[in-house]
Amino acid sequence: MSRSGESKSSVSIFSRLFGKKPGHLGQTQDAPGAAASSLPLPPEFREDIRTARKSVKRFLRFGDASALDAASSAWERVLNHPAFPGTEARFQLAASNHAGRVLLRRYRAQGRVQDLDRALELWRQAVKLTPPDSPKLPGYLNNLGAGLSGRYERAGRLEDLEEAIGVYRQAVELTPADSPDMPGYLNNLGNGLRNRYERAGRLEDLEEAIGVYRQAVKLVPADSPDMPGYLNNLGTGLSGRYERAGRPEDLEEAIGVYRRAVKLTPADSPDLRIYLNNLDARLRNRSAHMAKPADRPSSSAFHDTEEPMIE
């Protein structure tokens, strides 16, 4: 696909259409380098990729489920185009990755298991075809893990969870410690380990989950919008260990990180109620077990207390 005389305009179009932004808790993300300036966009695919990108934006802004149908159809036209097999490998990998992300979004919005299976197929192929030293590989592994985690949540197949943990671990191992993607990969690995702890009850999984959550919190910038979610997940891990072993230091630390999550969350965020409920539950634990009446929240402070939740 690449030509030495490729115009700069096609390069900038690729960057605009594919974009590159970091992933969020429990979500897929663009693989690093997906919008590399050296990768031009074949003209026959530009309109479909524009359609896909605009449709995803419409879904994110308005919650219009039909926008995901339009985005998915556009990506399938790209993937099934007669010219697609002859394009540069980097373009094929980037297109497959973005198509998988749209399909996973639609699965989460509409529950169509065929979308999840297709997304997994695309990411498995991307992982298989990506050189082991490619900086894009951790992103593809992470996204494959997200798809496998979604299928585990749906069907409860332990083999999906085991594979998800394995690919998340690979993503972490292949990512430089100072990469901005590292906190997200660590957080996803922690979620997988904690899910396995809840399934099998192995304390070593919970211990490792807490360790990687700590790393995620340590590495993410203090002003990152992801910080409250990472803190909440660390608090939930610590809460699980407190419930298992009864160590008061775990309860105290969980309260501290939940407080930080609440403090850093905007008042209009839908996540604030989750973090408040988790903090409330732990304060009630401490009030009941350690007889500290000052910890009891007033009736007007918290409502509808729930069990700890994660992102």
pLDDT, mean of residues 70-85: 97
68 in Cβ contact with 99 (< 8 Å)? no
Closest among 63, 69, 59, 143 to 101, alpha carbons compared: 143
Query: What count of residues does the chain have?
Result: 311
Res 205 pLDDT > 50: yes
Residue 295 pLDDT grade (very low, low, confident, very high; cuts 50, 70, 90): low
- Count of CB atoms situated within 10 Å of the CB of 93: 23
Q: What is the pLDDT of residue 2?
A: 32
Res 11 pLDDT > 50: no
pTM of the model: 0.81
Q: What is the pLDDT of residue 303?
A: 31
Q: What is the pLDDT of residue 289?
A: 76
Q: What is the pLDDT of residue 8?
A: 30
Higher-pLDDT residue of 199, 28: 199
Residue with tokens 């990755």: 97
Residue 257 pLDDT grade (very low, low, confident, very high; cuts 50, 70, 90): very high
Res 32 pLDDT > 80: no
Residue 173 pLDDT grade (very low, low, confident, very high; cuts 50, 70, 90): very high
Q: What is the pLDDT of residue 304?
A: 32
Rounded CA-CA distance 124/134 in Å is: 15
Helix, strand, coil percentages (3-state) for the chain, rounded to 5, are 70, 0, 30
Residue 39 pLDDT grade (very low, low, confident, very high; cuts 50, 70, 90): low
